[in-house]
Structure 1
Amino acid sequence: MADSREIEGLLERMGGELRELMRRRGREDAAMVGIHTGGVWIAERLHPLLELEAPLGTLDISFYRDDFTRIGMNPQVRPSELPFTVDERHIILVDDVLHTGRTIRAALNELFDYGRPASITLAVLVERSGRELPIEADVVGLQMPLAADEHVKLSGPEPLTLEVQKTA
């Protein structure tokens, strides 16, 4: 579907769009947070492109998911790391795929547990069809209309590739 060269091109464009958006909004002092796992991989590529001063933060939203009882315990729960103050900070939240919106809702819940950000800008590599919550990305690398029985998977971290798969 998309190889590492194509993804790197998308990330370069996203970096430029984010830089311009932050400049227009007067938010050059923003901090970036990636959602485990794919969002962290994308954020690790975007962070240096934006030359942000604050170190990269990471969120593991496993305990904030609304389908926790349905999917059970995530065997790879990682601690969230926010090496900066969230209060009154402009945050760039990064994820790999925006589908239903539930992952982003969970990430917002966790971020607000750390404090009250001044603003949150959402950047995603892929925005696909199937939204269940009113959540929209500010910067999108690729839009993909997919059937209900299809999903897109980011593999990585080296190299990053995207693949569309049918649900069994």
Structure 2
Amino acid sequence: MSTVEVFNAQQIAELIDALATAIARDHPHLDRLVLIGIRTRGVPLAYRLRDRIATGFGSPPQVGELDITFFRDDLGSGGLRTPNRSELPRDLTGQEVVLVDDVLFRGRTVRAALEALNHFGRPEQVRLAVLIDRGHRQFPIQPDYCGHKLTTAPEQIVKVHLRETDGEERVLLIDAKLEENSRE
């Protein structure tokens, strides 16, 4: 199996710092900004962005957690999924929302998140922040804020490991064909 570490903990921190700066500069009214992490790894990223924005720009934006389980278009495939509760700090009507996720690939997760957001009000605007954009979209979805655009083959896997969810901090690029062959 071929696995390459693309980013280490320090590099991930630098990407998050750059994302936080870009988001804060685009949103001068931080009291109207809500960072919404898409479960699972978007949630700790949203909290980290909030902390970096608070440190560098004063006022911390609010953070919410969005579960998209019932809005996915692949709900019937891939086994049973256990939904979590979405936790948003307030009605999103009139708010500036930044959806936060770890990896943007086909765009299906973001499409589901946009649909789920409709149940929590009508935001003034919705933007997207991702740590890694790996391309290969199936939907016309692009990030407004991107930590790093990583060139990948469609069959490769990008795995983000965060200390809050995985106990370690790194981004891996895995050759899926080699991984699949090693299982046979």
TM-score scaled to structure 1, two decimals? 0.91
Q: Which runs of 5+ in 2 are unaligned?
A: 1-5
Shift of 1:72: 3.1
Alignment of 1:9-48 (within 5 A): 9-23=14-28, 29-48=32-51
Other-structure match for 1:132: 138
Secondary structure of the corresponding residue to residue 68 of structure 1: coil
Q: Which runs of 5+ in 1 are unaligned?
A: none
* Counterpart code for 2:146: V
Paired residues, number: 165
Q: Determine the C-alpha separation between the residues in 1 that align with 2:53 and 2:126.
A: 16
Other-structure match for 2:120: 114
Q: Determine the C-alpha separation between the residues in 2 that align with 1:21 and 1:48.
A: 17
Contact 1:22 1:28 in 2 (8 A): no
Q: Determine the C-alpha separation between the residues in 1 that align with 2:105 and 2:30.
A: 27
- 1:79 maps to which of 85, 91, 101: 85
Percent identical among aligned pairs is: 32
* Counterpart code for 1:9: E
* Counterpart code for 1:74: R
Q: Determine the C-alpha separation between the residues in 2 that align with 1:149 and 1:17.
A: 31
Q: Deviations over 1:2-47 (max 9, x none)?
A: 1111100111111111111223xx6662111000111112111101
- 1:163 and 2:172 matched: yes
- Runs of 4+ in structure 1 over 6 Å off: none
Shift of 1:160: 2.5
Contact 1:93 1:120 in 2 (8 A): yes
Q: Determine the C-alpha separation between the residues in 2 that align with 1:119 and 1:82.
A: 16
Name which one, 1 or 2, has greater alpha-carbon Rg: 2
Contact 1:54 1:84 in 2 (8 A): no
Q: Determine the C-alpha separation between the residues in 2 that align with 1:89 and 1:120.
A: 9
Secondary structure of the corresponding residue to residue 70 of structure 2: helix
TM-score scaled to structure 2, two decimals? 0.84
- 1:102 maps to which of 105, 108, 129: 108
* Counterpart code for 2:25: E
Secondary structure of the corresponding residue to residue 149 of structure 2: strand
Cα RMSD, aligned residues only: 1.5
Q: Determine the C-alpha separation between the residues in 1 that align with 2:123 and 2:27.
A: 15
